[in-house]
Amino acid sequence: MADIVLQTEEGSGGIVIDDDWPGYSLELFSYPAHYAGDLECVVVPHGVIMDRTERLARDIMDDLGDHDIVVLCVLKGGYQFCADLVDKIKALSCNSDRTIPMRVQFIRLKSYLNDQSTEDIHILGAEDLSFLQGKNVLIVEGIIGTGKTLKALLKHVEAFKPKMIKVAGLLVKRVPHNTTRLPHYVGFEIPNRFVVGYALDYNEYFRDLNHICVISESGKLKYKM
Ligand code: HPA
Ligand code: MG
């Protein structure tokens, strides 16, 4: 899969996880017993997510330090990444001479049924984002798959005329023909497989799993809708 090149305007595309990387055996980590048999492997262990998030927080501080920002957390899949990223930015703001005053707002998007992206992207909750006008906005997403959701969200947010929009995505999938702009801050670039954990779900399951894992075929069947 070398023909898909992901690039960001600035910064890097994140830690690249190759298609032929088999992942870590589940036996090497602890995870909830109720998911035994539902997972194939660990792709990104929780500790690595935290370490990478700490570095993204520093990159954000370097770029945006001393600007007020509105963090727009994309629910539900982005809640854990957003909470940890905000925590790490807060820690930097306490321990250096630069700070980022942050407000946190939430928006809810839904576009997946089972492991398939659906055409209709629902923006639920804060449809009126007029509070973003003239603000520096940091959109925080857990995962960018086809890019359709991010594209729709950017269009929606841009309509409220913020001063600046930056996007932080923990995971970006290597999906063929993905034409969307990529996030400014990327945690990991991953193979085009369905992953769960760290707030990413399969039909609402697996949000209560710390590591990012590949779901097994039997897991997909068990929780299919
Ligand atoms: N897992 C969970 N949610 C998602 C994914 C995924 O792999 N891709 C897009 N939304
Ligand atoms: Mg989901």
**pLDDT in the model for residue 4:** 38
145 lines ligand 1 (CB under 6 A): yes
Strand order in the sheet with 15-16: 15-16, 185-190, 164-173, 136-144, 69-75, 102-113, 116-124
Q: What is the pLDDT of residues 106-152, one digit of tens each?
A: 999 877 677 877 767 778 766 688 989 999 999 999 999 988 888 88
- Cα–Cα–Cα angle for 94, 95, 97, nearest 5°? 90
Given a contact cutoff of 8 angstroms between Cβ atoms, the answer to whether 154 and 123 are in contact is: no
Cis peptide before 166 (omega within 30 of 0): no
How far apart are the CA of 117 and the centre of ligand 1, in A?
8
Distance 220 CA to ligand 1 centre (A): 13
| Mutation test residue for ligand 1: of 80, 112, 118, 171, the one with most atoms within 8 Å of CB | 112
Cβ(73) – ligand 1 distance below 6 Å: no
Predicted pLDDT of residue 126: 61
Gap from CA of 65 to ligand 1 centroid (Å): 31
Strand partners, 24: 42
The parts of the chain modelled with pLDDT lower than 70 are 1-12, 112, 119, 125-127, 179
- Ion ligand 2: residues, CB < 5 A: 112, 201
What pLDDT score was predicted for residue 218?
A: 96
Ligand index nearest the alpha carbon of residue 194: 1
